[in-house]
Structure 1
Amino acid sequence: MKAGNGLLMLLTKHLNKEFLKFLISGGINTLATYLMYLFLLLFYNYSLSYSVSYIAGIFLSYYLNSVFVFKEKISFRKFLKFPIVYLVQYIVNMLMLYVLVEYAQFNVQIVPLVAMIITVPITFILSKMIIKSK
């Protein structure tokens, strides 16, 4: 039974370390894309501003997750699969943006932050599945 507990502890420690790195890289990515979103709001509506900053964030996220979080080599094949994770997240986030801005009258500057809180765990699991795949 002790060996099983030791394996469980090691697995939990490893997953927590990866998730912590994921949160750090996500924080960097969030800050970069949020600043881009705010800048773009000066020129465009919230939907276009969010879309452009979101696409830029996919590129940054793939790089940070591959190199920093999961310590995997950059792969063109995995990069092509990676946006699937964010397509799902994008659709959920855009729906939330629309509902929260148009119906709940939330401020367009904070709505993306609210939406991201909901999708982070799902994004971690799907990102890991793609980046760590063989």
Structure 2
Amino acid sequence: MTVRSQLIRFALVGVVNTGTYYALYLLLLTRLPYVAAHVIAFTLSMVGSFFLNSHFTYRTRPTWRKFVLFPLTNAANFVITTSGVYLLVDVLRLSSRYAPLGAAGAAVPITFVVSRAIMLRPDRDPESTSRAGRTPISR
């Protein structure tokens, strides 16, 4: 699979993930402050993103090791989107309902590069996968 097709698939997963995040965010926003709604929705959608990217984008086996490392792929995304949401809502006084959509786009290239490095990192020794925490995640 080429990097270009992976990027296209990553973008498609990103659209699904953004929709999931945004729906959760709006739901949580009815009961929580916008920052709490953002953090919870972001975390839940990241779990879904891991499995979609494992199977659809990179066609790789999800392992516990990759699952544990996957949040690192979103660390920059989290900082950029959280800062962006804050900037758009508290500084620019835009609606908290739409701010996350505007903040999401800037983080996509960084997230792709980091996720590709983690998801396509080869397992070193198949014999030691259970000892190293790289066992497949049960379905």
Which bracket does the TM-score occupy, shorter chain normalised?
Answer: 0.7 to 0.9
Give 1 or 2: higher helix fraction.
1
Deviation track 1:32-88 (CA, whole Å, cap 9, x = no partner) reads 111010011111111000000000011011101110000000110011111012122
Matched, 1:35 2:20: no
Partner of 1:71: 59
Q: 1:91 deviation in Å?
A: 1.6
Distance 1:93 1:69 in 2: 22
Question: Equivalent residue of 2:61, what SS?
Answer: coil
**TM-score (ref. length: structure 2):** 0.84
Matched, 1:96 2:81: no
> What are structure 1's unaligned runs of at least 5 residues?
1-12
> What are structure 2's unaligned runs of at least 5 residues?
123-139
Partner of 1:61: 49
Matched, 1:81 2:51: no
Write out the 4+ residue segments of structure 1 that deviate beyond 6 Å after TM superposition: none
Contact kept in structure 1, 2:51 and 2:62, CA below 8 Å:
yes
Give aligned-pair identity as a percent.
27
Q: CA RMSD in A?
A: 1.1
Partner of 1:48: 36
Matches within 5 A, 1:3-42: 14-42=2-30
Contact kept in structure 1, 2:54 and 2:62, CA below 8 Å:
yes
Question: Equivalent residue of 1:16, what SS?
Answer: helix
Deviation track 1:98-118 (CA, whole Å, cap 9, x = no partner) reads 111111011111111111110
